[in-house]
Amino acid sequence: MSSEAAPDPEAGWLPGARRLPSPNCDERPRGEIVRLVVIHAISLPPDQFGGPGIADLFTNCLDPAAHPYFREVHALRVSAHFLIRRDGELIQFVPCSMRAWHAGESAWRERARCNDFSIGIELEGCDSTPFTDAQYQALQRLLAELRRHHAIEAVVGHSDIAPGRKTDPGPHFDWRRIRDVDE
């Protein structure tokens, strides 16, 4: 019998968030801690809100026949830890103890592979539309909770860790609305 304790199946799941487990995750490197939060924006189909597309993408259930754009992305194997819908609903796809596949090729402070040491938060949105008050309120609560449990050093945008490749969370994201949480 191993002297190591079995992993806690509840570890890393945030109470109050709706769980939709994604298979698109794996173990963080041994000894790695969460030190970064990456803010993303996503809408599926592009510039449309409210449908099942994002959850379907993150759970590998996206129907390529449901929309022309889905044919381009349905085979991607991606996820994030959290999604905040336009109405503020919080959905969790990956426990914080695991590595979600959200950042892709990325670097922060000259360190590559941001997925190893970050938590990814998707906001339902796009570059052309402001985010909602409900989203900022949910994000503020989530960041405060993450700071209570992790050694968060910074909150950055996807565009900060993948410049030239990514633009999210985009020009309408108001960083001032989370500044007090990030200090």
Within its chain, how far is the Cα of 138 from the centroid? 13
55, 82, 84 from 92: Cα distances, Å: 10, 4, 9
CA dihedral 79, 118, 160, 108 (to 10 degrees): -130
Catalytic residue chosen out of the listed positions 32, 89, 122, 124: 122
Q: How far apart are CA 172 and CA 169, in angstroms?
A: 8
Asked if 10 is an active-site residue, the reply is: no
- Residues 150 and 35 sit within 8 Å (Cβ to Cβ): yes
* Catalytic residue list: 122
